[in-house]
Amino acid sequence: MSRNPFDLEDKVAIVTGANTGLGQGMAVALAEAGADLALVGRSRPEETVELVEKAGRKAHVIMADLGSLEPVDTIVGETREALGGLDILVNNAGIIRRNDSIDFTEADWDAVMDVNLKTLFFLSQKAARSMIDTKTRGKIINIASMLSYQGGIRVPSYTASKSGVMGLTRILANEWAGHGINVNAIAPGYFATNNTAALQADETRNREILGRIPAGRWGDPADLGGAVVFLASRASDYVQGITLPVDGGWLAR
Ligand code: NAP
């Protein structure tokens, strides 16, 4: 065994929504730490494949729309077949819909809850069954949000889903720690990605947000690398059920 507790040499990781943004940043960090990657999503992750291969690791693409549970069964099986196992699952894919709560539609409620919470739960269940069957020390990492802690405005289904992610992270840690599986979450602060494009473009909101971040800048996807490698590695074997903020100090204000 490597003496470096953060080493992921020859581990196999699934990252959902890895074609862009935070998913791409985390996939590349895991590859640089030694993991092979199954990249799962509905858009082809060409650039991420290139970056993973440049880091000297394998990238296997699984095209799947995570708005329904239909692909969940095949994702874990295909990863094991293509890459020889499954050690790490990063539930990153997520969407946001913005509207006043007074006008919010059922369609905008269901779309967000399905991807951000329902699929996250059932993909975690499938991955955990595989880890238990193969007696693998597994790591499941969920992507939460500042809105796991705060209410936000005009994003009711997003807040409900991300608050749910923090709760699910705790219950799954409670139930699966005994099987040698660590379940934890990362709560990114404000990162410059497609998800926050509307906020970055709104001069007033942009100024308000930057004014509250002690680090004085939006996060870059590479800023999540250390946290995801930590939670994916044996360095975090005794860390269970936490949601780790990576937020430039936002919550400290
Ligand atoms: P992003 O650039 O919009 O990326 C979201 C990813 O999820 C994309 O790969 C997207 O694929 C994928 N996805 C969405 N719906 C999907 C579906 N039905 N099936 C398969 N894949 C789907 O946003 P991001 O900022 O990187 O977000 C990544 C995660 O971080 C999300 O869970 C988000 O809530 C969370 N987060 C972001 C921030 C932030 O400041 N950016 C802060 C806190 C939490 P497509 O490209 O095909 O849409």
- Judge residue 122's burial from the number of C-beta atoms within 10 Å of its C-beta, 0-12 exposed, 13-18 middle, 19 or more buried: middle
Q: What is the DSSP string of 122-154?
A: HHHHHHHHHHHHTT---EEEEE--GGGTS--SS
In short, whether 93's Cβ falls inside 6 Å of ligand 1 is yes
Residue to mutate (ligand 1; options 15, 19, 20, 75; most atoms within 8 A of CB):
20
Q: Concatenated DSSP letters for 218-234?
A: -B-GGGGHHHHHHHHSG
Indicate if 158 belongs to the active site: yes
Q: Which amino acid, one-letter code, is at 190?
A: Y
CA of 195 to the centre of ligand 1 (A): 6
CATH code of the domain made up of 12-193+221-247 = 3.40.50.720
C-beta of 71 in contact with ligand 1 (< 6 A): no
Helix-helix angle 46-54:21-32, to 10 degrees? 20
Nearest ligand 1 atom to the CA of 91 is: 32
Domain boundaries, the chain: 12-193+221-247
Ligand 1, atom 13: closest residue by C-alpha: 93
Report the nearest-CA residue for atom 11 of ligand 1: 17
- pLDDT at site 70: 97
Alpha-carbon span 53 to 33, nearest angstrom: 13
d(CA 161, CA 148): 8
Any ligand 1 atom below 6 A from CB of 22: yes
End-to-end Cα spacing for the chain: 41
Read off φ and ψ for residue 2, nearest 5 degrees: -60, 150
Of all protein residues, the one whose alpha carbon is nearest to atom 9 of ligand 1 is 17
pLDDT in tens, the chain (253 residues): 789 999 999 999 999 999 999 999 999 999 999 999 999 999 999 999 999 999 999 999 999 999 999 999 999 999 999 999 999 999 999 999 999 999 999 999 999 999 999 999 999 999 999 999 999 999 999 999 999 999 999 999 999 999 999 999 999 999 999 999 999 999 999 999 998 998 899 999 999 999 999 999 999 999 999 999 999 999 999 999 999 999 999 999 9
- Taking the CB of residue 56, how many other CB atoms lie within 10 A of it? 9
